[in-house]
Amino acid sequence: MCRIGILIVDDEPLSRTRLRRMISLDPDCELIGECSNGAEAVAAQSRLNADVVFLDVQMPVMDGFEVMREARLTTPGDGGRPLVILTSAHSEHALRAFESCVFDYLLKPFGRQRFYESLRRAKSRIACDRARANDSAAVPAPARRFADRIAVRNRGCVAFVKLEEIDWFGAADNYVTLHRGRETHLVRTTMAELEVKLDPALFLRVHRSSIVNLDRIKELRPWFRGDYLLVLRDGTELTLTKNHREKLESRLLLGAA
pLDDT digit string, tens, across residues 4-17: 999 999 999 999 99
Task: Say yes or no: 242 and 187 in one domain.
Answer: yes
Distance between CA atoms of residues 89 and 218, nearest Å: 42
- Please state the rounded mean pLDDT for residues 85-108: 85
Predicted local confidence at residue 130, as pLDDT: 80
Look at residue 142 and tell me if it is in a domain: no
Task: Say yes or no: 25 and 130 in one domain.
Answer: yes
Cα-flanking dihedrals φ and ψ of residue 138, to 5°? -75, 150
Look at residue 104 and tell me if it is in a domain: yes
Look at residue 190 and tell me if it is in a domain: yes
Predicted local confidence at residue 77, as pLDDT: 41
Domain edge (last residue) among 134, 156, 185: 134
In this structure, what CATH number is given to the domain that contains residue 247? 2.40.50.1020
Q: Say if CB 53 and CB 83 are below 8 A apart.
A: yes
pLDDT tens-digit profile of 39-88?
999 989 888 889 999 999 999 889 999 999 888 776 444 455 689 999 99
Distance between CA atoms of residues 142 and 76, nearest Å: 9
Task: Say yes or no: 116 and 168 in one domain.
Answer: no
Predicted local confidence at residue 3, as pLDDT: 85
Distance between CA atoms of residues 188 and 194, nearest Å: 10
Task: Say yes or no: 128 and 172 in one domain.
Answer: no
Check pLDDT > 90 for residue 21. yes
Predicted local confidence at residue 251, as pLDDT: 66
Task: Say yes or no: 122 and 223 in one domain.
Answer: no
Number of domains in the chain: 2
Task: Say yes or no: 11 and 127 in one domain.
Answer: yes
Task: Say yes or no: 11 and 129 in one domain.
Answer: yes
User: How far is CA 81 from each of CA 3, 107, 142, 201, 224, rounded to the nearest angstrom?
Assistant: 14, 22, 10, 22, 47
Confidence of residue 103 (pLDDT cuts 50, 70, 90): confident
Task: Say yes or no: 183 and 122 in one domain.
Answer: no
Look at residue 140 and tell me if it is in a domain: no
Check pLDDT > 90 for residue 210. yes
pLDDT tens-digit profile of 221-239?
887 777 888 899 999 999 9
Predicted local confidence at residue 227, as pLDDT: 81
Look at residue 180 and tell me if it is in a domain: yes
CA atoms within 13 A on the CB side of 176: 24
By the 10 Å C-beta count (0-12 exposed, 13-18 middle, 19+ buried), 240 is classed as buried
Check pLDDT > 60 for residue 253. no
Full domain range(s) for residue 250:
164-256
Q: Name every residue whose Cβ is closer than 8 Å to that of residue 175 and which is 6 or more positions away in sequence.
A: 186, 187, 188, 189
Look at residue 153 and tell me if it is in a domain: no
Confidence of residue 255 (pLDDT cuts 50, 70, 90): very low
Task: Say yes or no: 120 and 180 in one domain.
Answer: no
Confidence of residue 97 (pLDDT cuts 50, 70, 90): confident
Domain edge (last residue) among 134, 152, 182: 134
By the 10 Å C-beta count (0-12 exposed, 13-18 middle, 19+ buried), 131 is classed as exposed
